[in-house]
A and B are shown apart, each in its own frame.
Chain A
């Protein structure tokens, strides 16, 4: 099993560009989430999904969009990148909200 796979691993964007961070899991997990990690601020929840077709906002949703058309995939879209979105992004999946969350290896995004 591959677990949670994130692509790309590194990305540099110019201010105003858009892009999609990909996340796929092969564990048939219903719950998937996106986090951003910044020094001294821990992991902050951006958006999450409790199943295909269901998404909701987390702590820091502004500037990001998500959709969940299949159980396996949960892409994160940056509509118009800003330097404040420079961060490391992690995708995670779990069987439900009260069980182990498995994380991908992360995407390091720099917006210049």
Chain B
């Protein structure tokens, strides 16, 4: 019940394209939904986050779409760039615990 399922596992996008990563959860008590970006050899870093009372949040080229009734949320990266190539993790927080999805390895081809 505290799992967060993420797809796809890997994604290849052309430069300038849109990258879309999806996550689903079961527990309706989750109250905070962040996305983290990780480069090889580094720790994850917060990219953007949303709370369940908001349906969409945009920061620059990055947008979270949140569907509370479907218990799904997604990350959209507009105008994807080679520098966006990294592993992306969705996560959900409950009672102080941050539970992560399995990760998506994004490769943006020039």
On A, residues with C-beta under 8 Å from B are 4, 31, 33, 35, 40-45, 48, 50, 56, 58-59, 90, 92, 94, 96-101, 103-106
A40: chain B residues within 8 A (beta carbon)? 9, 102-103
A interface: dominant SS = strand
B100: chain A residues within 8 A (beta carbon)? 35, 42-45
A31: chain B residues within 8 A (beta carbon)? 96
Contact A103–B43 (Cβ < 8 Å): yes
On B, residues with C-beta under 8 Å from A are 2, 6, 9, 31-32, 34, 41-46, 49, 51, 89, 93-103
Nearest chain A CB to B36 CB, angstrom units? 8
- Listed from nearest, the 10 A-B pairs whose CB atoms lie closest are A103-B43, A97-B96, A98-B32, A43-B100, A42-B102, A100-B46, A50-B96, A42-B100, A42-B103, A97-B93
Nearest chain B CB to A6 CB, angstrom units? 8
